[in-house]
Amino acid sequence: SQELEQSPQSLIVQEGKNLTINCTSSKTLYGLYWYKQKYGEGLIFLMMLQKGGEEKSHEKITAKLDEKKQQSSLHITASQPSHAGIYLCGVEVTYKYIFGTGTRLKVLA
Amino acid sequence: DAGVTQSPTHLIKTRGQQVTLRCSPKSGHDTVSWYQQALGQGPQFIFQYYEEEERQRGNFPDRFSGHQFPNYSSELNVNALLLGDSALYLCASSSYRSEAFFGQGTRLTVV
């Protein structure tokens, strides 16, 4: 079965700093989702990447899919306290989503 | 648009009891999936309902069962609760080729 590994597991950055979160798949990536979760709450859809080399941006968040490396990266520019939360990558496999264990981000004001 | 709504938001049950969680999908969505998220972990797929039938099931025991109604809303039932069932239960709705939209979750605590 497919597994997603995220790194780092947790991250603490000063407000205004840039950061990158990685998601590596054990199998070929045909598409990938990024979600954000506030602690103890539901998941908020950020973006979906459908093909290798694709790059999407939403406000100050940019995600890219590298299918050769079986990896996706999520980059936040000039982080803000509102970016704090848990970032989850996920793939859809036969009707279900498989998620990574998440990256916990804390942004210090 | 109300999005995906789940009820209740929090629940405390005793070991051995039974619980029912409810989910109303986002308008226009006909598919409902349920996930269990333990503390510090990513969500784990329980099952998916489409056209009132269970279409796909994850690695969860038969104590976990569900139902989908004609209006696409869904219930998750858990029997004979164990301490290990304590988790955040997430409902997600979707339609053909759309990303999944998640509810705020139900926090279940088993004591």
* One-character DSSP codes across A3-61: -EEEE-SEEEEETT--EEEEEEESS--S-EEEEEE-TTS-EEEEEEE-STT-EEEETTE
pLDDT at A89 over 70: yes
- Nearest 5°: phi and psi at A2? -75, 140
Mutate: best of B10, B31, B32, B45, partner A, most A CBs <10 A: B45
Tell me the residue range of the domain where B67 lies.
15-105
User: What is the model's pLDDT at position A68?
Assistant: 85
Q: CB of B1 within 8 Å of any CB in chain A?
A: no
Q: Please, which residues have CB within 8 angstroms of residue A59's CB and are 6 or more apart in sequence?
A: none
User: What is the model's pLDDT at position A30?
Assistant: 84
The three-point CA angle B31-B35-B40 to 5° equals 150
CA distance A76 to A89: 15
Residue B111 lies in a domain: no
Structural domain total, chain B: 1
Supply A78's token pair: 């000039």
Q: What is the pLDDT of residues B64-93, one digit of tens each?
A: 999 999 999 999 999 999 999 999 999 999
Report the CATH number that the domain containing residue B72 is assigned in CATH: 2.60.40.10
CA distance B2 to A93: 27
Supply B108's token pair: 């279940």
Q: State the smallest CA–CA distance between residue B35 and chain A in angstroms.
A: 9
Residue B110 lies in a domain: no
Tell me the residue range of the domain where A51 lies.
4-108
CA distance A102 to A86: 6
Residue B8 lies in a domain: no
Structural domain total, chain A: 1
User: What is the model's pLDDT at position A100?
Assistant: 94
Confidence of residue A69 (pLDDT cuts 50, 70, 90): confident
Residue B10 lies in a domain: no
User: What is the model's pLDDT at position B65?
Assistant: 97
Residue B70 lies in a domain: yes
Cβ contact A33–B99 (<8 Å) = yes
Q: What is the pLDDT of residues B10-64, one digit of tens each?
A: 999 999 999 999 999 999 999 999 999 999 899 999 999 999 999 999 999 999 9
* Minimal-distance CA residue of chain B relative to A31: B99
Q: CB of B60 within 8 Å of any CB in chain A?
A: no
| Nearest partner of A51 among A65, A72, A62, judged by Cα | A65
Q: What is the pLDDT of residues A16-61, one digit of tens each?
A: 999 999 999 999 888 899 999 998 889 999 999 988 888 999 889 9
Mutate: best of A24, A37, A44, A96, partner B, most B CBs <10 A: A96
Q: What is the CA radius of gyration of chain B?
A: 13
Contact list in A for residue B90 (CB cut-off 8 A) is 42-43
Report the CATH number that the domain containing residue A54 is assigned in CATH: 2.60.40.10
CA distance A44 to B24: 17
Q: CB of B108 within 8 Å of any CB in chain A?
A: no
User: What is the model's pLDDT at position B1?
Assistant: 64
Residue B3 lies in a domain: no
